[in-house]
Structure 1
Amino acid sequence: MGEKRVVLYTKLHCPLCDDAHKLLQKLQLEIPFHIQTIDIYKDDVLLEKYGLMIPVIEVEGEEIDYGRINEEKVKKALTNF
């Protein structure tokens, strides 16, 4: 089985998004996965869907957490798939 795919929905000038990205990078040290970062301001549909929620972390197509990201919740999602 290959690496899991994690999508981080983000925007510019977003301290919570920066924190979420740092958390994902920290988790990558122990769990192999690929991070794809998507700026919601480049897609009107995503902007409408996630505008007030970002950052949003999605693991293998499933939304796991948003806003203030919970490390344990993300770690559990990465190890349970």
Structure 2
Amino acid sequence: MRAELVLYSTWGCHLCEQAEQLLLQADLTQPFKVVDIVEDEQAFERYRVMIPVLRSGDNELCWPFDAAQLVTWLKEVS
């Protein structure tokens, strides 16, 4: 079973919006979930200075990344 794909983000973060747009434009074979770190204490502690961060299982892709890097990472973690 494939790990859940999560984008750690927060409201008003333009970099997070860019990362979400890259995900929406990618040819994903699975849905992704956006988690606002302000609403998740553990995520806030871990990612507060790193967002946006994309996570699948134990694998993380930290910003900055572009469409090509995203596609490569998605292939590696699937």
After TM superposition, the score normalised by the length of structure 1 is 0.80
Count of residues paired in the alignment: 77
Which aligned segments of 4 or more residues in structure 1 are displaced greater than 6 angstroms?
Answer: none
- Aligned residue in 1 for 2:71: 75
Q: Name stretches of at least 5 consecutive residues in structure 1 with no aligned partner.
A: none
- For residues 20-31 of structure 1, the aligned pairs below 5 Å read 20-27=19-26, 30-31=27-28
Write 1 or 2 for the structure with the bigger share of strand: 1
Structure 2, unaligned runs of 5 or more: none
TM-score of the two chains, using structure 2 as the length reference: 0.82
Instruction: State how far apart, in whole Å, the 1-side matches of 2:29 and 2:57 are.
Output: 13
Percent identity between the aligned chains?
27
The separation in 2 between residues aligned to 1:56 and 1:33, in whole angstroms, is 17
